[in-house]
Amino acid sequence: MLLLENVCKSYREPNGDPLPILDIERLEINAGEQVVLRGRSGCGKTTLLNCIAGLTTVDGGRIEINGHDIVRLPEVTRDRFRALHLGIVFQTFNLLPAFTALENVLLGMTFTGQKPDAGRAEHLLDEIGLGHRLSHKPAALSVGEQQRVAVARALVNQPSLLLADEPTANVDAGHQQQIIDLLRGACEREKVAMLLVTHSPEVAAQFDRVEQLEDVNRAARVA
Amino acid sequence: MSFWKIAWRNMQQRALASSLTGLSMALGVALMILVIVIHEVTVEQFESDAQGYHLIVGGSKGGDLQLVMTTVFHLGKPMYPIPYSYYQKFTEGEFAQYTEAAIPYCLGDSYHQGGYQFRVVATSPDLFEKISYGVDEEGNDRRYEFRLGRNFESNHFFEAVVGSVVAKKTGLKVGDSFQPTHGMSSRGDKHVGFEVVGILAPTGTSNDRAMFINLEGFYLLENHALLPEENIENETTHVDHEDIDPNDPNRGHLPLPEAQREVTSILVLCKQEYGTEAMVLDNAINKGKDRTAQAVAPAAVVGRLLDGIIGPVRLVLLVLTILIVVVAGISILVSIYNSMSERSQDIAVMRALGASRSAVMGIILVESILLSLLGGIAGVLLGHAVLGLASPYVEAQAGITLRFWQFNWQEMLLIPGLVGFASLVGFLPALTAYRTDVGRTLGGGR
């Protein structure tokens, strides 16, 4: 389902020298598989997720999702591909404050090129216990509720892969487990593969597969 | 969810800033509407006021503009009068062969009530019978009509007809009487009363705010007659009190001798047999040996006034209002542009959800267009509301009739104009949205 081969990414130092960030020889995730990615802070985990999502261009290599090498896709096609096949849950939830819970979920459908299905968005929110909070804006929702809306938004297009970037980093231990349960349950129900970045050993311990991102010659590699 | 809804929600999120920028656009557009509509109405009114006759003849001391302003628009100080005998040239003298109708005007009196001042025009009943006031949409002459009552009769010296605005503002009804004041000041001596026998239907001309009294009665008022020359037989203008018939509408007065009469101006409707009568009369009056009077073609004077004064003033006002709209547009640019840094996260999230660069750019452009359009529509409504509210005052003061629903075709250009302008001012912030680095904004620096 997801295959990374020889993916490398570097930034430029202020003096113009290249700063290697990623050097992934191979990483593969199967359909419906749930994988945790760990690594020390600043080692390039978020950059890797951005590269997989096509939000950051790579210097070389292949990122294949459902057989499509997104590195070779033109940007506009890649954007549409992302809307249709990928779901993203951010560390800070990143709900848009001007929109209601339902509208935030519908926003996830807006850029697919297909007619937004309000019924599905409502159904998803109802399923995660927010059926009574559809018209509330993020400011009126609790932290847990906001994260649930973010999960619903990520899953609304029935993507093949969910990328979750430290979704439990900003919540207390009680909420942490709720979020993990929510993500795992939703991905199982929707048959969505998940690549979850976390620092937490407790979270990582709940997953069958944990990949470690380690610095080798300054660039992160999958151990 | 449509881009319009996304843009609308963004505007709602910054309600105060959006409202203020929209308001500044609304004020600019409202001013533009006022300039466009008032100019159109003024031009239309000026042009229609100056129709219905060919020439105005008045004293030669003074300019043609003064003659037109005092005679047609009831504005400014009346000119020095010309002898009655000059008027008779049009009725029975050398100019009669070219003249269809000659309407004498005697100006100089006024009527004051409730803070309003109305000009009193002494004339003959022919004004409402032989002269029209412009043409309607089908090209037919517009004839004076009476909303109530009738025209005054030439042999009833103290009868009067009032314009529609005068009747509305003063509350004068048929059967009421009013006392004109000598001169234009409210402190002038009051003359004897005139009975209102008719109220004109609205004409949309400056005659709506004038009061028309019988010329014969005017001559009989104090200080309106020339002193009799010694060699003229002393004709009496009144009879002894005990001989007055109580049913005499003229209160025992006899007409003023012609030698003691003057007129301020004459409206001349020329015959149309050869099509050159007006030109002949114009030449005869302005280029003949007798330079007692001057003749002006009101349409030409009004045209010159519009082209020479009102047109350029309108242009200056229009340029100023366009500048105001431009400033309002720049305020939209500044408002959206300043919000871009705080919205970069939202833009990055939309990009992460699959929005293309063009899509986020489009959303910002739509927001700019929406702000301009809503401000513009509010401005159109505001401008027309001001027109409607100012209408009674402007009508009473200047005789220009304004209506809330008076639209000008140029207003239709505002909508595409605003859309184009908004796209222009929204381009810079939209470009910022286009260039948003999603990876860095969402925290993927490393």
Token readout for B411 is 């207003």
pLDDT classification of B246: cutoffs 50, 70, 90: low
Q: Which residue has the tokens 């001042």?
A: B117
Q: Per-residue pLDDT averaged across B113-131, rounded?
A: 92
Q: What's at B85, amino acid-wise?
A: S
A47 touches chain B (CB under 8 A): yes
Contacts B349 to A, Cβ<8 Å: 90, 94, 96
Our CA-based measurement puts residue A110 at a distance from the nearest CA of chain B, in whole angstroms, of 6
Kindly state the helix (H) or strand (E) to which residue A214 belongs, with its residue range. strand A209-216
Partner-chain contact B446 A47, CB within 8 Å: yes
Residue of A nearest to B438 (CA): A55
Our CA-based measurement puts residue A75 at a distance from the nearest CA of chain B, in whole angstroms, of 8
Q: Which SS3 state, helix, strand or coil, does residue B434 take?
A: helix
Contacts B444 to A, Cβ<8 Å: 46-47, 49-50, 55-56
pLDDT classification of B296: cutoffs 50, 70, 90: very high
pLDDT classification of B415: cutoffs 50, 70, 90: confident
pLDDT at B305: 84
Partner-chain contact A96 B446, CB within 8 Å: no
Residue A220 has pLDDT above 80, yes or no: no
Our CA-based measurement puts residue A80 at a distance from the nearest CA of chain B, in whole angstroms, of 6
Q: Which residue has the tokens 């299905």?
A: A117
pLDDT at B446: 46
pLDDT at B436: 86
Residue B387 has pLDDT above 80, yes or no: yes
Token readout for B255 is 């007409």
Q: Is the dihedral of CA A200, A211, A124, B360 positive or negative?
A: positive
Alpha-carbon distances, residue A40 vs A24, A43, A93, A215, B309 (angstroms): 16, 6, 21, 9, 79
The DSSP secondary structure of B55-115, one letter per residue, reads EEEEESSS-HHHHHHHHTS--SPPPPPEEHHHHHHHHTSTTGGGEEEEEEEEEEEEEEETT
Q: Per-residue pLDDT averaged across A18-31, rounded?
A: 88
Q: Residue A193 carries which DSSP code?
A: E
Average pLDDT, chain B: 86
Which among A84, A88, A97 has CB closest to B352?
A88
Token readout for A126 is 């109802």
Over residues A143-197, the pLDDT tens digits come to: 888 888 998 999 899 999 999 998 887 777 777 888 898 889 888 988 899 999 9
Beta strands in A78-175 (DSSP E): 86-89, 161-165
pLDDT classification of A1: cutoffs 50, 70, 90: confident
Residues 261-320 of B with CB under 8 A from A: none
Q: Which SS3 state, helix, strand or coil, does residue A3 take?
A: strand
Q: Which residue has the tokens 């096609």?
A: A77
pLDDT classification of B215: cutoffs 50, 70, 90: very high
pLDDT classification of B445: cutoffs 50, 70, 90: very low
pLDDT at A222: 67
Token readout for B45 is 């009114």
Q: Is the dihedral of CA B357, B360, B366, B371 positive or negative?
A: negative
Counting other chains too, the contacts that B133-140 makes at CB distance below 8 Å and 24 or more residues apart are B133/B48, B133/B49, B133/B51, B133/B52, B133/B203, B133/B205, B133/B207, B134/B47, B134/B48, B134/B49, B134/B51, B134/B52, B134/B205, B135/B51
Measure the CA–CA gap between B327 and B436, rounded to whole angstroms: 27
Token readout for A93 is 């939830």
pLDDT at B229: 66
Q: Per-residue pLDDT averaged across B232-245, rounded?
A: 54
Partner-chain contact A46 B351, CB within 8 Å: no
pLDDT at A80: 93
Residues 83-122 of A with CB under 8 A from B: 83-84, 88, 90-91, 94, 96-99, 103, 106-112, 116
For chain B, the structural domain boundaries read 3-45+310-435, 55-296
Contacts B367 to A, Cβ<8 Å: none
pLDDT at A161: 94
Residues 52-91 of B with CB under 8 A from A: none
Over residues B11-35, the pLDDT tens digits come to: 998 899 899 988 988 988 898 888 8
Residue A89 has pLDDT above 70, yes or no: yes
How far apart are the two ends of chain B, measured CA to CA in Å? Answer: 33
Our CA-based measurement puts residue A47 at a distance from the nearest CA of chain B, in whole angstroms, of 5
Q: What are residue A202's phi and psi, to 5 degrees?
A: -65, -40
DSSP count for chain B of H helices, then E strands: 14, 15
Partner-chain contact A55 B356, CB within 8 Å: no
- Any bridge partners for residue A69, and if so which? A64
Residue with more model confidence, B81 or A41 = B81
Which residue in B4, B2, B24, B3 sits closest to B321, CA to CA?
B24
Average pLDDT, chain A: 88
Residue of B nearest to A83 (CA): B354
Which among B1, B351, B357 has CB closest to A103?
B1
Contacts A94 to B, Cβ<8 Å: 345, 349, 352, 442
Q: Per-residue pLDDT averaged across A16-34, rounded?
A: 88
Measure the CA–CA gap between A124 and B27, rounded to whole angstroms: 46
Q: Is the dihedral of CA B358, B344, B4, B425 positive or negative?
A: negative
Q: Per-residue pLDDT averaged across A214-220, rounded?
A: 63
pLDDT at B187: 84
Cβ contact A153:A107 at 8 Å: yes
ipTM score of complex? 0.90
Cβ contact A56:B439 at 8 Å: yes
Which among A21, A75, A90 has CB closest to B446?
A21
Contacts B350 to A, Cβ<8 Å: 96, 107, 111
Partner-chain contact B354 A111, CB within 8 Å: yes
Residue B231 has pLDDT above 60, yes or no: no
How many other CB atoms are found less than 10 A from the CB of residue A127? 15
Residue B99 has pLDDT above 80, yes or no: yes
A82 touches chain B (CB under 8 A): yes
For the domain made up of A32-57+74-210, give the CATH fold.
Answer: Rossmann fold (3.40.50)
B349 touches chain A (CB under 8 A): yes
B42-56, B105-119, B144-158: the lowest-pLDDT one: B42-56
How many other CB atoms are found less than 10 A from the CB of residue A83? 24
Measure the CA–CA gap between A141 and A128, rounded to whole angstroms: 14
Partner-chain contact A111 B12, CB within 8 Å: no
Angle formed by the axes of helices B3-13 and B357-398, to 10°?
70
Partner-chain contact B349 A90, CB within 8 Å: yes
Which among B1, B9, B356 has CB closest to A76?
B356
Kindly state the helix (H) or strand (E) to which residue B364 belongs, with its residue range. helix B357-398
Token readout for B189 is 């001596």
Partner-chain contact B1 A112, CB within 8 Å: no
Partner-chain contact A80 B359, CB within 8 Å: no
Over residues B142-176, the pLDDT tens digits come to: 899 999 999 999 999 999 999 998 998 899 999 99
Q: Per-residue pLDDT averaged across B390-397, rounded?
A: 75
Partner-chain contact B353 A107, CB within 8 Å: yes
Residue of B nearest to A90 (CA): B442
Which residue in B375, B371, B379, B380 sits closest to B425, CA to CA?
B371
Which among B350, B356, B444 has CB closest to A47?
B444
Residue B426 has pLDDT above 80, yes or no: yes
Residue B230 has pLDDT above 70, yes or no: no
For chain A, the structural domain boundaries read 32-57+74-210
Measure the CA–CA gap between B56 and B69, rounded to whole angstroms: 11
pLDDT at B307: 86
Measure the CA–CA gap between A86 and A53, rounded to whole angstroms: 7
Our CA-based measurement puts residue B39 at a distance from the nearest CA of chain A, in whole angstroms, of 44
Q: Per-residue pLDDT averaged across B280-299, rounded?
A: 90
A196-200, B302-306, B370-374: the lowest-pLDDT one: B302-306
Contacts A76 to B, Cβ<8 Å: 356, 358
Kindly state the helix (H) or strand (E) to which residue B381 belongs, with its residue range. helix B357-398
Q: Per-residue pLDDT averaged across B296-315, rounded?
A: 86
Partner-chain contact A96 B349, CB within 8 Å: yes
pLDDT at B291: 84
Partner-chain contact A46 B10, CB within 8 Å: no
Question: Which residues touch A208 (CB under 8 Å, ≥6 apart)?
Answer: A34
Question: Which residues touch B168 (CB under 8 Å, ≥6 apart)?
Answer: none
Beta strands in B81-203 (DSSP E): 82-83, 99-113, 116-123, 132-135, 141-143, 146-149, 159-162, 177-178, 181-182, 194-200
Partner-chain contact B442 A46, CB within 8 Å: yes
How many other CB atoms are found less than 10 A from the CB of residue B369? 23
Partner-chain contact B13 A50, CB within 8 Å: no
Q: Per-residue pLDDT averaged across B411-433, rounded?
A: 87
Q: Which SS3 state, helix, strand or coil, does residue A130 take?
A: coil
Q: Per-residue pLDDT averaged across B423-441, rounded?
A: 87
Measure the CA–CA gap between A32 and A24, rounded to whole angstroms: 22
pLDDT classification of B217: cutoffs 50, 70, 90: very high
Measure the CA–CA gap between B126 and A84, rounded to whole angstroms: 84
Best B1, B343, B363, B437 residue to mutate vs chain A (most A CBs within 10 Å): B1
Residues 159-218 of A with CB under 8 A from B: none
